[in-house]
Amino acid sequence: MRVGIVGGGIVGLAAATYLARRGADVTVCERGSIGAGSTERSAGGIRAQFSTRVNVDLSLASMDVWESFEDEFGVDIAYRRAGYLFCAREEATADAFRETVEMQREAGVPAELLSPEEARDHCPELHADQFVAATYSPTDGFADPHLALQGYAEAAREAGVEIRTKTAVTDIVRESPGATAESDGDGGEGCVVGVETVSAGGEQERLDCEFVVNAAGPWAGQIAEMAGVDLPVTAQRRQIAVVDPETPIPDSVPLTIDLDTGSYFRPEREGRALVGGFFGDEADSVVDPDDYTKDIDLDWTAEAMERAADTAGYFGPDSRVARGWAGLYAVTPDHHPIVEERAGFVNAVGFSGHGFQHAPAVGQIVAELVHDGEASLVDIEPLRSDRFEDGDGLVERNVA
């Protein structure tokens, strides 16, 4: 069985690894270098504190892999489990916390609902008087996306995957002219049968395959359009600053999210912090993934530092920004991914900032869809793209 994968980020390479380990002949086509889309610009968060069961289940299945990643793949991904601390300023947000914590605990997540003073036990410099409630889970944390990507890339190659960089997909080949991947049935009209590519040197080639996996991140909508599929996936710019805070942040402090302002920070190394968030015009702005500014903006940086200082006492007037970067989220209207198979065209897209952490589960699910015809690791029925047509979109409240 031949499978073509469009996109050499963490989701594409995880899928390639698990597909090849089950016997598929896999080729990954990446228009740039591996991880150059969103993966290498990720903050590396890994959490199970989501507000919908399907996102929690994706997290738990992925955490099983992250915990044993070094043993299985031979790469230390600097996985640190300092926890996530979600903080609420508004009573309505606190009410939602109570509901989500109950669901998370039923799923097996050791989440806790905390008072602001109890939250300070985990983040000692938290301005507790600014908040009305918090949630915390000790099994959440973060890892190094670059190291994880390299682990999957090497595992994929060892399993026989061909990774073609500087190779852009220019078209999805369908069985008959005018047919689309909307058609149902294996081998029926409109089934995807391959991709057409062009290398950086201008060499054109057709790759015949029985399945094509769309793991193109911010470019997912463009790839889907080649297959006659309309996906509501847009590219949105997100920024992160590396900060030397006024008071060094201990490694034990969790990734702390001020959910009502969209601001977050987490310890980095040697007392430094990563500070991020989306607010103002950037919160919902759509950008061209081929033409966006990769450096951080001065106005955003100033506001991010003010918001961080309003959250916790680590950040004062003597804090200094060392560097920063901007990357892309591939966002759907409900901040949930689209994971499905449609007549040989497999979508694993639209993770809305959660692609890195969910890649192990999604990679295995893609392998199940191709080899078994259905997913068993996680119930992905809520993640079908037709949920937007039916008005059955999910709502993820813990967006960060």
Residue ranges for the chain with pLDDT beneath 70 = 176-189, 280-284, 392-393, 400
Residues, the chain: 400
Amino acid at 76: D
* 186 and 192 Cβ atoms separated by less than 8 Å: no
**CATH hierarchy code of domain 84-138+234-331:** 3.30.9.10
- Please state which CATH class domain 2-44+146-231+334-390 belongs to: alpha beta
With beta carbons less than 8 A apart as the criterion, state whether 34 and 13 touch: yes
Host H or E run for residue 195: strand 192-199
Are 45 and 148 a contacting pair, CB within 8 Å?
no
Q: What is the pLDDT of residue 188?
A: 40
At position 318, the amino acid (one-letter code) is D
pTM for the full predicted model: 0.94
Sign of CA dihedral 277, 380, 65, 76: negative
Dmax (CA) for the chain in angstroms is: 65
- Return the pLDDT at 283: 65
Q: Is 312 helix (H, G, I), strand (E, B) or coil?
A: strand
Question: Which residues lie below 8 Å from residue 396, measured CB to CB, with a gap of 6+?
Answer: 50, 51, 52, 55, 334, 335, 336, 352
pLDDT tens by residue, 128-171 = 999 999 999 999 999 999 999 999 999 999 999 999 999 999 99
| Domain boundary assignment for the chain | 2-44+146-231+334-390, 84-138+234-331
Residues 332 and 233 sit within 8 Å (Cβ to Cβ): yes
Residue 189 is predicted with a pLDDT of 46
Question: Which uninterrupted H or E stretch holds 153?
Answer: helix 145-158
